[in-house]
Amino acid sequence: MASTNKYDRQLRLWGAAGQESLALSHVVLLGCEGTVGCETLKNLILPGVGGFTCIDKEMWVVSSNLQELNPDVHGSFLVPDCSLDEFISNDVPAASTVKTSLSEYLKQSDNVPYPLAAMPSTSGAKGTMIAGMPNMDQQQHGHVPYVALLMEALSRWRSSHSGAVPSTFAEKDEFRAALKGMSRDWNLEMNFQEGVREAYTAYTNSPGVPEHVREMMERADVKNLTKDSTSFCVLLSALSSFTKSHAGMPPLNGSIPDMTSDSESYIKLQSLYFERSKKELEEFTCLVQGRLAEVGLPLSYIPPPSIATFAKNVPYLTVV
């Protein structure tokens, strides 16, 4: 694995767990006719896929050229000696292109930050990022993370409104205008534009667990666990207990979206969310393990990585 700096941009998009999954993956390209396959491989090699194998009698040149894109990725080629049918019969996942664009089939989920109104412990982190703003040069001023700007704007608002947050339509407009007024050059400072666009996170409480997930937690097989219960039911049961003691909120995801920021400030902000999510994950893990013990199942029935993945994706849970 190359240095974190090399993959800084994508770590912001899919996090360390996503990067690890990518690094542990091995992709096989069947045939090199056309450019779609090679372009797809290129877009996997650059961010650090674990390895790739090209299967085609002409692929040795392509494989060699692709390898040069990222020395951390292991590439190889093979002369084909089996058909696609053989791959499928052995349960090897295969993908084929159906259009020249994949945008209709793949969608990046947004990493929505925890509402600031529900994050009372952020003042220290905000102070380190906001301190000295009047003396910052234009480059620094335009790269203060919008989350820090929102926290500062919210602090100012509360100090002049008896601790209350904006509630009426007029107050919310006034709040956004105040934030916009903190910028030096609105047209150039993307961080302030991002802040105004995401201003609702400063005064909106999260709805908590989505309705469809709450319905799943009310199922009989979730409320009445046995030694034959699925891991999903055990996890939902633990989630139900967690939300009851956290005002309806699931474990904090810990991810933050990409944003205009200098690296140092972004890392500080990321650490803030990560530390809180780590603490809540530990609490959720204890609940899961308690459920397993109650029904006589071993702790290995639901390993920690599976618990972490579940906790991180609560809003997207579904039964297929």
Residue type, 302: I
Task: Name the token pair of 13.
Answer: 């998009």
Average pLDDT over residues 24-40: 81
Are 237 and 115 in contact by the 8 Å Cβ rule? The answer is no
Determine the distance from the C-alpha atom of residue 66 to the mean position of all C-alpha atoms in its chain, rounded to a whole number.
Answer: 28
Answer yes or no: is pLDDT of 117 > 50: no
Average pLDDT of the residues of the chain: 82
Average pLDDT over residues 129-139: 78
**What is the pLDDT confidence band of residue 87, given thresholds at 50, 70 and 90?**
low
Average pLDDT over residues 180-207: 90
**What is the pLDDT confidence band of residue 302, given thresholds at 50, 70 and 90?**
very high
CA distances from 294 to 53, 227, 304, 318 (A): 47, 9, 18, 25
**What is the pLDDT confidence band of residue 131, given thresholds at 50, 70 and 90?**
low
**What is the pLDDT confidence band of residue 72, given thresholds at 50, 70 and 90?**
confident
Predicted TM-score (pTM) of this structure: 0.62
Task: Name the token pair of 165.
Answer: 């947050």
Q: What pLDDT shows up at residue 38?
A: 84
Higher pLDDT, 255 or 292: 292
Q: What pLDDT shows up at residue 124?
A: 52
Average pLDDT over residues 2-6: 59
> Tell me, what DSSP letter sits at residue 112?
P
Query: Where in the chain are the domains?
Result: 5-89, 116-202, 211-316
CA atoms within 13 Å, Cβ hemisphere of 75:
25
Q: What pLDDT shows up at residue 82?
A: 61
- Rounded CA separation 205/2 (Å): 39
- Rounded CA separation 294/312 (Å): 24
Which regions of the chain does DSSP assign to beta strands (E)? 26-30, 51-55, 74-78
> At which residue do the structure tokens 């009426």 appear?
168
Task: Quote the Cα angle for 305-310-315, to 5°.
Answer: 150
Are 237 and 225 in contact by the 8 Å Cβ rule? The answer is yes
Q: Which of 260, 271, 285 is nearest to 141 (CA)?
A: 260
Q: Which fold has domain 5-89?
A: FAD/NAD(P)-binding domain (3.50.50)
- Rounded CA separation 256/311 (Å): 15
- Rounded CA separation 1/49 (Å): 10
Give the torsion through C-alpha atoms of 217, 248, 310, 20, to 10 deg: 170
Higher pLDDT, 294 or 89: 294
Q: How many helices (H) and strands (E) does the chain have?
A: 14, 3
- Rounded CA separation 193/260 (Å): 10
Q: What pLDDT shows up at residue 114?
A: 52
> Tell me, what DSSP letter sits at residue 245?
T
